[in-house]
Amino acid sequence: KEYLLGLTGVESQKALCFSPTCNICGFSAGYSGPGAKTVLPAEATAKVDFRLVEAQKPDVLFERLKRHLLRSGFGDIEVTNLGGYEPARTPVDDPFVTQVIRIAGTVYGKKPVVKPLTAGTSPIYVVRNWMGIPVASAGGVGHPGSMVHAPNENIRIEDFSRSIKFVAALIHSYWMNPAGSHQKE
């Protein structure tokens, strides 16, 4: 398949991990009650989110969005910031990350798929950026049919139990091998 900007295969995966995105989450406009109304809506709402990459700041991006809308002739649009997180990343070769990879391989019985970044958002920047502590998102609890973020999202008990074993093994290895851990300097 071909995606935006003509990217395919590995290049599209790299772009997903290392490029910022703007996602349209939803629209709302006009009459949506029972029956029909043939009127033009007086207002419309759109929800968007941005996935940031290294060195981008949510507040700076928000101000740039407002300036862009104003310069493009949309000065009457009300823009509300519902919050945001800074991007955060730990190098794949960090001792903590290599420890997570090793433990995952042991617990799950196969070599884990390692992605340098995910197209998701969480407040881990507080731990990574402010405290200087490495982070790793260790998935593994889902299965191909888990329907992540869908209305019928699910997890199998076997996968949940194995993820508990993984976290316990990681904590134990962290305790037993401080060299694989991280101390703030």
Which residue from 154, 122, 160, 123 is spatially nearest to 140, judged by alpha carbons? 160
**Is there a domain that residue 134 lies in?**
yes
**Is there a domain that residue 45 lies in?**
no
**Is there a domain that residue 114 lies in?**
yes
**Is there a domain that residue 12 lies in?**
no
**Is there a domain that residue 103 lies in?**
yes
Asked if 99 and 170 count as a contact pair (C-beta separation under 8 A), the reply is yes
Q: pLDDT (tens digit, 0 to 9) for every residue of the chain, 185 residues total?
A: 566 788 888 888 888 788 888 889 999 999 888 998 888 888 999 999 998 988 899 999 999 999 999 999 999 999 999 999 999 989 999 999 999 999 999 999 999 888 888 767 788 889 999 999 999 887 767 788 888 888 999 999 999 999 999 999 999 998 887 655 555 44
**Is there a domain that residue 36 lies in?**
no
Which residue from 135, 19, 145 is spatially nearest to 11, judged by alpha carbons? 19
CB contact burial 83-101 (16+ within 10 A = b; e otherwise): eeebbbbbeeebebbebbb
Residue 120 and residue 154: Cα distance in Å, rounded?
19
Give the total number of structural domains in the chain. Answer: 1
Question: What amino acid occupies position 70?
Answer: L
Residue 38 and residue 77: Cα distance in Å, rounded?
24
Print the domain residue range for 165.
95-180
C-alpha Rg value of the chain to the nearest Å? 21
**Is there a domain that residue 163 lies in?**
yes
**Is there a domain that residue 157 lies in?**
yes
CATH number of the domain at 147, please: 1.10.150
